[in-house]
Amino acid sequence: MKIVYASNDGYARHLGTSLYSLLDRNQLEEEITVFVLSIGMSEENQGRLAAIASHFDRELEFIELGDLQERFSYEVDTGGFDISAMGRLFLGTVLPEGVQRVLYLDCDTVVLGSLRKLWEMDLAGCVLGAVMEPTIYPEIKEQIGLGKEDAYYNSGVLLIDLKRWREEDAEKRLLDFYREKGKELFACDQDTINGVFKGQIKTLSPRYNFFTNYRYFHYRDLVKQSPAYGKVPKAVFRRAKAHPAIVHYMGDERPWKAGNRNHYRLAYERYLGKTPWRGTPKEKGQRTYMAAYHAMDYLTFLCPPVRRYLSRKFGRKAIENRKKETPGK
């Protein structure tokens, strides 16, 4: 099993938490090799991550990407997202040639089950497999060439046929697309992957990338927002909600923020407590916002249209806030 993360120092402790959960929940695997695409990560943080891998007697390899901006022939505007998210676009060239299949995980994930079935999944000729994100705004899909009936996928967990990725010159296609659309994109790398690989992404069960705020969504409302989500059986969605294999702390209700009430926060806290970052205090200053966000979770359950209205109203504002928090990105 070949696993890939991409991170800088800012996300190192989240990566460590995810890494520990991955190795703990997959101890029966004969072989696991983890690649960390480093964007200027310090030796101290690399050492901490190496200690986690050593604890489980697993291989961990760092691949330094340096200044990601230098890998582009044009100025990159990530819309306020950390530029480390773009590291996944370069998997085909930075990973060893012998690596022909990889499972990419975002740092803000926690693994709660075996990934063997996911790893062995037949991609049926697709370049990659991913989990649908039906709540994306229609205008975002339109910007990248997707129609109302087309599926849109989250890039936080990607099962990639790296052999085919290279054969189809995916990196060039991705960079060309981003050159053309970059400044217009809501979710930089994710929109790029969806735009380039339209029709070439296999739908994975939501249990392999369960977005924590989807706990409050009704299945029927998700299908209403994106008819393509009807391909995911209702029973499968319910099982994913109750027993996710990979939890993705997507949205603003992050378990490392003081005052958060994320239903799945204990999983993150438990595994953080096993890493060299144990005892790291939670980020302060957003308690009121966290309370309001959790109230919106219940509004989602009681009255989905209100959630959609608020998401549309404040979605772009969130992008602007990210830009203010990451000057120069």
Distance CA 318, CA 287 (A): 17
Share of the chain above pLDDT 70, in %: 93
Say whether 310 sits in a helix, a strand or coil: helix
Pair 84, 11: CB distance under 8 Å: yes
Distance CA 117, CA 102 (A): 14
Residue 9: half-sphere exposure toward Cβ, Cα within 13 Å: 7
Q: Among 121, 126, 130, which Cα is nearest to 158's?
A: 130
DSSP-assigned letter for residue 201 = E
pLDDT in tens, 135-155: 998 999 999 999 999 999 999
Assign 230 a pLDDT band (cuts: 50, 70, 90).
very high
CATH topology of domain 2-325: Spore Coat Polysaccharide Biosynthesis Protein SpsA; Chain A (3.90.550)
Compute the average pLDDT of residues 81-88: 82
pLDDT in tens, 92-137: 999 999 999 999 999 999 999 999 999 999 999 999 999 999 999 8
What's the pLDDT at 329?
32
Asked if the model's pLDDT at residue 316 lies above 70, the reply is: no
DSSP string, 71-105: GSSS----TTS-GGGGGGGGHHHHS-TT--EEEEE
Q: Which of 158-162, 169-173, 291-295 has the lowest mean pLDDT?
A: 291-295
Instruction: Give the CA distances from residue 309 to residues 110, 162, 254, 290, in Å, rounded to whole numbers and listed in that order.
Output: 30, 39, 22, 19
* Average pLDDT score, the chain: 91
What's the pLDDT at 156?
96
Pair 255, 290: CB distance under 8 Å: no
What's the pLDDT at 327?
38
Asked if the model's pLDDT at residue 312 lies above 80, the reply is: no
Tell which wins on pLDDT, 260 or 322: 260
* Single pTM value for the model: 0.92
Compute the average pLDDT of residues 52-76: 91
What's the pLDDT at 166?
97
DSSP-assigned letter for residue 281 = P
Distance CA 5, CA 18 (A): 10
Assign 238 a pLDDT band (cuts: 50, 70, 90).
very high
Helix count and strand count (H, E) for the chain: 13, 10
Q: Among 3, 55, 64, 72, which Cα is nearest to 34's?
A: 3
**Residues constituting the chain:** 329
Q: 32-58 b/e with 16+ CB inside 10 Å = b?
A: bbbbbbbbebeeebbebbeebbeebeb
What's the pLDDT at 222?
96
Compute the average pLDDT of residues 27-39: 97
What residues pair up with 38 in beta bridges, in sequence order?
A: 7, 64
What residues pair up with 279 in beta bridges, in sequence order?
A: none
Assign 77 a pLDDT band (cuts: 50, 70, 90).
confident
| Domain range summary for the chain, segments of one domain joined by + | 2-325
Pair 160, 57: CB distance under 8 Å: no
Compute the average pLDDT of residues 209-215: 96
